[in-house]
Structure 1
Amino acid sequence: MAMVCGSYNLYASANCSITSDLGTCFMTSPLGATLEDSGCRFRVWAPHAEEVSVLLQTGSTWDSTETPTRVALKKDQAGYWNGFADGVGPGQLYRYEIKNNGTFERIDPAARDTIHSELTRSNRGSHNASIVVTNEPYPWSKFDTPRFTNFLIYQFHCGSFAGRNDHLDKEIATFQDIETKLSYIRDLGFNAIEPLPVQEFAHTRSWGYNPAAFFAPESAYGRPVDLQHFVEEAHRHGLAVIFDVVYNHAGPSDNVLWQFDGWSDHSQGKDGGIYFEGGKWTDWGRGPAWWKQEVQDYFFQNACMYFDHYNADGLRFDVTTQIDGNHLAKVLGKLKKAYPDKYFIAEHLPASPWITTFGNFDASWLAKSHHEMQRALNGQSPIEKVKMFLGWDGFAHPWNLVKYTMGSHDDVGDDKNGNAKDGLTNWDARHRYFIDQFGGRDNWHARAKCRLAWALNVAMPGTPMMFMGGECHMGSPTVAWGYWHDGHDNHGDHRFDWDIAGDPIGIEMRRLVAAVNHVRWANPALRSDTLIITHEDDTNQVIAFKRWQDGNLILTIVNMSDTNFKDHSYGVATDQQYGRWSQVLCTQDKTFGGWDGAGNAFHEPYTQSDGRVYINLPKWSVVMLRLQAESP
């Protein structure tokens, strides 16, 4: 991409000052290693260091017995060390040597590539090193980030999404491996993907929420150019890419920021050093020191990297409630000004309109869309539970909320041998695939409830999201247990199973997901800022609502009971005096796993004088009707 002074491109020439009406939003040079015509410029924050040098080596791994080339850096008034090394090009290995009550070596906190995640301080014999990466622009194809009303997201974990019972046959999937699955996702009707974090994390098997090096891609998945190629291929398939970033904590055992320049004030409990001093305590230990401008700048540069170097369409921020909101809002304000057409999502739980107003995000996850859906389908006041997540809860627009009735990675994933959140004894908090919460994929009612849940997810206001496996009733036929976690699987291999995705039960659900997603794309009403609940039947646990836009009107009827209404006997209040309707979807059609004649094929009923339309309404179903004519 072009590197223009005065823009927010942080990888512009080293002496370019980046300013805006927000004031000086950044330092004059990018962090890390920035290639120029004759060599490479280095910049690193180490305010307590007495001396800092760049150590340079050639080869594929760092050889501690070899004498490296040493280039001394100079410290500026802000505590940053700067220098230039002639003749350095892409692929050059480097480390920082820091003197501060001793001499030690560090990986660059802003290294855009590393050999692997093992850091120098955790293993003195480590062969790890930072790697200089080219800043030549990637030949991106034209791709327009979707409008915020138009995201339909498929969430997945890179390492486990390929390799089990497919032609790849490997334990850890790479970016290249995942490229072979992009057509599968697109054929389901999704237009955006959201991989779990892809930055370098400790070890090779992990969800990714234990970052070790924030700027480098996970080495088990591939190199920076592989990640660029992956984004390019996703765009060629019509899939936007939303990256998941973790700025509220770092890996507990191995992260590049911890005591980076050797300073630590143990007397004040500030044992994390410059990047953690005075940071919030989180569920995973001391969080980054967001109160410092330098730390804000660090994460701002990291976020910009995903857009400038990886052509991202959005970012999902992990657990924003564990970052000081004032400091986070400041950084998001700069990001929104820099990338106004990109979709910024917060995992802000519980969701509050604050995050999209003062907080400057575009959207928040809505966890209760899953939890209350699960309770509703368990018979716990179904209508009231659905109403709790049906609208957009005081937010300005429906797309301000990302909803996932069948669960995200957090809800499906499990640890503690299946007993996360005491799930073995507490069904309400159990982490499982949605199908396993209701009896498993061999249970007809469980499958029907999954079909209902996804159809409602797409029909109601909000940005729909599905976690991998929900589209094919992925689950555990013998042991009700969730998607794999960071540790060993005591209950077997819980990666995405392509045999399950392709079996008859899996194919039925895939047909349903594709059909529902198609209905969303074919009907702008389902992407509008509209909602009226037209019908509530507490006796039969039926609720109906309508949405509309530009002459397109969809009435969605949800039956959360075992009562099966035949012979067009169920009357649904439409809030319409007149109208002729045709069915656009019934989740109990035979092709999805239901039965012949379950819905209203070839039946185009009129609204009757009582304001109701009379239809077949199968048990545990969603039926969607489109208004064909306003008058007789």
Structure 2
Amino acid sequence: MSIPSYNKRFGAHLLGGKNTRFTLWAPDAERVDLEILSDGRLPMNKEQGGWFVLEAPCGAGTQYRYRIDDEISVADPASRSQVVGLHGPSMVVDPKTYQWQHPQWRGRPWHETVIYELHAGLLGGFHGVEAQLAELAELGVTAIELMPIGEFPGTRNWGYDGALPFAPESVYGSPDDLKHLIDTAHGHGLMVFLDVVYNHFGPDGNHLGRYAKAFFRHDEQTLWGDAIDFRHQEVRDFFIENALMWLQEYRFDGLRLDAVHAIGERGFLTELAQRVHAAVEPGRHVHLMLENEKNQTSLLEEGYVAQWNDDGHNVLHTLLTGEQQGYYADFHQGAAEKLALCLSEGLVFQGQIARQGQSEPCGEPSAHLPPSAFILFLQNHDQVGNRAFGERLVSLANADALRAATSLLLLSPMVPLLFMGEEWGTHRPFLYFTCHQSPELAEAVREGRRREFCRFEPFHDMSLCERIPDPNDEKTFTASQPDFQCCLDPKHGEWRALYHHLLGLRRREIIPRLPGTRALGADVLGKAAVVAHWRLGDSSLLRIELNLGDQAVALQEHHKHGRLLFASQDMEEFHEHQGKLPPRMARVYLVAPDEQR
């Protein structure tokens, strides 16, 4: 299969069987030498704009570094492969060696999407993920989403500390191993999405500030330090070329852009979407998704298909757990009204309300967008892993209420996302883990994380703060590994059966009707109860009644029509609640056009 062409300016690229072009943008370097491990140094040619270029007589498998001003030797920032990790040499890769088994794959339309977010390292690398694909396809998942895989320090990391975004993490497998995973997923009918980090580099292994200071702006800070300066075309090109590499060479079906609220130049996001869609072959489905705390919904009309719906998660979480610390405080008061707004219009924060700790309103109007523009979830890597002890919802919420919320998640017209292990109700935590070799950096991460939680009332007891797992301890990583054997336990089997059944209903009853769907509004039934309505594409009416509280709530007469698709508990147990929605219950109805009044 031929690889669709795109501009490949950064990094090392084969020109033929035995020649490679090396290109580095280093405007603050006076001299750059190419260090080929087997052949010594070759001086690179300095060109206009701060570029250093050299065509050398070497081919795939060549290991190399760049020597900057005869002071430091660094990996290629656009390295396609790091054989021995972040601090080792880069390697020239031939992207055409892999023989694709499913070259005709064109992806799937967005409305069919059911996402399963996973961490490749916890599953044993690319081969380990591949071993789970058949099971996930049978469950009803239609897309897996890999947490970031760019080369990071050490052997354990969430992936958001990456420093070489073009190189698949060497601990997980080779570039061809990653292609085999994607190819195999396509054979199972699964799309593969990748979480990419374009808002910062990790604290270890990035040397751009030494020879390309224009990559960063010191006058604008993010949570991770100096902001990336997207005012420079070279910086924009670096990341856009990265996106095109994943989509074209590796055949990923979509990208999730991490924390774009930390990207100061909105024009970069628009340009990225435009260039991606211009490069994709006609007839191929490629989906771009956002994480955006600013709720800039206008981006969803500029080439992005959906954004993660943190508002939806946060209000459901506070209803399920009663938690109101941190950002949950914004959703706890009037939670049912906020859930109704979310189900009616997509988001809660649309510019009319300021969040706690912020002086300005947050968000843009969202009611005009289709429900599929929002990715809904009850758990993800952030919402679980950024808890001090990484608890799953199954350990925090009433089981009946959680089943009811899961019914909403999997049968509403929003695009559902599951987090690995959720489908069998695992109690294993998902913790924050790292593998920093520098004792000083490891200590800073450990103490910084503990200080972060000590701001909250439950952790004012210092003995509890000291129990927060050390991210750099290997035991923190192993404690987060999935416990597949627990699926044999009947209780865990019941959770998996629930997900399997609901995703089967979604596939048969909801997905075929999703194109053209629009929300019709939602009514508040009680402190923790709502009923929401959507007009589906075939003019059917979808109604979801949800009560996460511990008291039955009254239903109006016009809420009693339609074919019952699903009830999260046995209806016969609630015969005394005639005309009411029982506690901790969800019911889902489909009303045909001729039944509507």
Smaller-chain TM-score bracket: 0.7 to 0.9
Give deviations 1:303-346, integer Å, cap 9, x for gaps: 11101111011101111011121333223322232238311111
**Cα–Cα, structure 1 residues 228 and 627, in superposed 2: closer, same or farther, change >3 Å?**
same
Is the 2:320–2:402 Cα contact (8 Å) retained in structure 1?
Answer: no
Gapped regions of structure 1 (runs ≥ 5) = 12-28, 59-67, 120-127, 163-172, 264-272, 419-430, 439-445, 590-595, 601-612
Aligned to 1:2: 2
Q: Secondary structure at the match of 1:227?
A: helix
Aligned counterpart in structure 2 of residue 286 of structure 1, from 226, 236, 243: 226
Aligned counterpart in structure 2 of residue 460 of structure 1, from 382, 399, 412: 412
Deviation at 1:470, TM superposition (A): 1.6
How far apart, in 2, do the equivalents of 1:236 and 1:620 lie?
Answer: 39
How far apart, in 1, do the equivalents of 2:127 and 2:48 lie?
Answer: 44
Residue identity opposite 2:379 in structure 1: G
Give deviations 1:54-89, integer Å, cap 9, x for gaps: 22235xxxxxxxxx3333321221221112112x22
Deviation at 1:298, TM superposition (A): 0.6
Superposition map of 1:408-423 within 5 A: 408-414=380-386, 418=389
Aligned counterpart in structure 2 of residue 133 of structure 1, from 69, 93, 99: 93
**Cα–Cα, structure 1 residues 542 and 327, in superposed 2: closer, same or farther, change >3 Å?**
closer
Identity among equivalent positions (%) equals 27
Residue identity opposite 2:128 in structure 1: D
Is the 1:563–1:618 Cα contact (8 Å) retained in structure 2?
Answer: yes
Report whether the alignment pairs 1:396 with 2:369.
yes
How far apart, in 1, do the equivalents of 2:219 and 2:237 lie?
Answer: 15
Aligned to 1:450: 402
Deviation at 1:258, TM superposition (A): 3.9
Is the 1:244–1:315 Cα contact (8 Å) retained in structure 2?
Answer: yes
Q: Secondary structure at the match of 1:194?
A: strand
**Cα–Cα, structure 1 residues 483 and 517, in superposed 2: closer, same or farther, change >3 Å?**
farther
Larger radius of gyration: 1
Aligned to 1:323: 263
Q: Secondary structure at the match of 1:176?
A: helix
How far apart, in 2, do the equivalents of 1:491 and 1:151 lie?
Answer: 30
Aligned to 1:19: none
Is the 2:547–2:583 Cα contact (8 Å) retained in structure 1?
Answer: yes
Give deviations 1:86-137, integer Å, cap 9, x for gaps: 2x222111111222xx432111111100123342xxxxxxxx1001111316
Deviation at 1:243, TM superposition (A): 0.5
How far apart, in 1, do the equivalents of 2:396 and 2:490 lie?
Answer: 21
Is the 1:304–1:335 Cα contact (8 Å) retained in structure 2?
Answer: yes
Deviation at 1:455, TM superposition (A): 1.3
Aligned counterpart in structure 1 of residue 62 of structure 2, from 49, 74, 92: 92
Residue identity opposite 1:204 in structure 2: T
Aligned to 1:605: none
How far apart, in 1, do the equivalents of 2:98 and 2:113 lie?
Answer: 25
Report whether the alignment pairs 1:362 with 2:305.
yes
**Cα–Cα, structure 1 residues 108 and 559, in superposed 2: closer, same or farther, change >3 Å?**
same
Deviation at 1:531, TM superposition (A): 2.1
Deviation at 1:583, TM superposition (A): 2.2
Is the 1:411–1:432 Cα contact (8 Å) retained in structure 2?
Answer: no
Residue identity opposite 2:526 in structure 1: D
Q: Which moved more, 1:276-285 or 1:89-98?
A: 276-285
**Cα–Cα, structure 1 residues 614 and 311, in superposed 2: closer, same or farther, change >3 Å?**
farther
**Cα–Cα, structure 1 residues 598 and 195, in superposed 2: closer, same or farther, change >3 Å?**
farther
Aligned counterpart in structure 2 of residue 199 of structure 1, from 150, 172, 179: 150
**Cα–Cα, structure 1 residues 31 and 514, in superposed 2: closer, same or farther, change >3 Å?**
same
Deviation at 1:352, TM superposition (A): 2.4
**Cα–Cα, structure 1 residues 199 and 539, in superposed 2: closer, same or farther, change >3 Å?**
closer
What CA RMSD, in Å, does the superposition of the two structures yield over aligned residues? 2.9
Is the 1:484–1:495 Cα contact (8 Å) retained in structure 2?
Answer: no
Residue identity opposite 2:408 in structure 1: L
Superposition map of 1:247-396 within 5 A: 247-259=198-210, 261=211, 273-278=213-218, 280-324=220-264, 325-339=266-280, 341-357=285-301, 360-378=303-321, 381-391=334-344, 392=346, 393-396=366-369
How far apart, in 2, do the equivalents of 1:215 and 1:400 lie?
Answer: 28
Q: Which moved more, 1:531-540 or 1:511-520?
A: 531-540
Is the 2:214–2:232 Cα contact (8 Å) retained in structure 1?
Answer: no
Report whether the alignment pairs 1:537 with 2:525.
yes
Q: Which moved more, 1:380-389 or 1:504-513?
A: 380-389
Is the 2:371–2:519 Cα contact (8 Å) retained in structure 1?
Answer: no
How far apart, in 1, do the equivalents of 2:248 and 2:526 lie?
Answer: 52
Is the 2:86–2:151 Cα contact (8 Å) retained in structure 1?
Answer: no
Aligned to 2:50: 79
How far apart, in 2, do the equivalents of 1:368 and 1:107 lie?
Answer: 40
Residue identity opposite 1:303 in structure 2: A
Aligned to 2:484: 498
**Cα–Cα, structure 1 residues 535 and 301, in superposed 2: closer, same or farther, change >3 Å?**
closer
Aligned to 1:424: none
Is the 2:516–2:536 Cα contact (8 Å) retained in structure 1?
Answer: yes
Q: Which moved more, 1:192-201 or 1:498-507?
A: 498-507
Gapped regions of structure 2 (runs ≥ 5) = 323-331, 347-365, 435-470
Aligned counterpart in structure 1 of residue 564 of structure 2, from 580, 583, 587: 583
Residue identity opposite 1:224 in structure 2: P
Give deviations 1:189-219, integer Å, cap 9, x for gaps: 1101111101111111110000121110111
Superposition map of 1:116-155 within 5 A: 116-119=84-87, 128-136=88-96, 138-140=98-100, 141=102, 142-155=104-117
Residue identity opposite 1:297 in structure 2: D
Give deviations 1:416-449, integer Å, cap 9, x for gaps: x53xxxxxxxxxxxx63222222xxxxxxx2222
How far apart, in 2, do the equivalents of 1:40 and 1:31 lie?
Answer: 10
**Cα–Cα, structure 1 residues 483 and 413, in superposed 2: closer, same or farther, change >3 Å?**
same
Q: Secondary structure at the match of 1:247?
A: coil
**Larger relative helix fraction:** 2
Deviation at 1:551, TM superposition (A): 4.9
**Cα–Cα, structure 1 residues 184 and 280, in superposed 2: closer, same or farther, change >3 Å?**
farther
**Cα–Cα, structure 1 residues 571 and 616, in superposed 2: closer, same or farther, change >3 Å?**
closer
Report whether the alignment pairs 1:434 with 2:393.
yes
Q: Secondary structure at the match of 1:471?
A: helix
Q: Which moved more, 1:250-259 or 1:286-295?
A: 250-259
Is the 2:391–2:430 Cα contact (8 Å) retained in structure 1?
Answer: yes
How far apart, in 2, do the equivalents of 1:395 and 1:113 lie?
Answer: 44
How far apart, in 1, do the equivalents of 2:208 and 2:82 lie?
Answer: 14
When normalised by structure 2's length, the TM-score is 0.80
Q: Secondary structure at the match of 1:296?
A: helix
Q: Secondary structure at the match of 1:149?
A: helix
Q: Secondary structure at the match of 1:303?
A: helix
Aligned to 2:451: none
Q: Secondary structure at the match of 1:154?
A: strand
Aligned to 2:453: none
When normalised by structure 1's length, the TM-score is 0.76
Q: Secondary structure at the match of 2:208?
A: coil
How far apart, in 2, do the equivalents of 1:187 and 1:414 lie?
Answer: 30
Is the 1:375–1:385 Cα contact (8 Å) retained in structure 2?
Answer: no
**Cα–Cα, structure 1 residues 503 and 618, in superposed 2: closer, same or farther, change >3 Å?**
farther
Is the 1:112–1:217 Cα contact (8 Å) retained in structure 2?
Answer: yes
Aligned to 1:105: 73
Aligned to 2:120: 158
Which fold has the larger relative contact order, with Cα–Cα distance below 8 Å and residues 6 or more apart in sequence? 2
Is the 2:340–2:532 Cα contact (8 Å) retained in structure 1?
Answer: no
Is the 2:539–2:593 Cα contact (8 Å) retained in structure 1?
Answer: no
- Name the count of aligned residue pairs: 519
**Cα–Cα, structure 1 residues 490 and 138, in superposed 2: closer, same or farther, change >3 Å?**
closer
Report whether the alignment pairs 1:519 with 2:516.
no
Residue identity opposite 2:403 in structure 1: R
**Cα–Cα, structure 1 residues 544 and 108, in superposed 2: closer, same or farther, change >3 Å?**
closer
Aligned counterpart in structure 2 of residue 40 of structure 1, from 17, 20, 45: 20
Q: Which moved more, 1:548-557 or 1:186-195?
A: 548-557
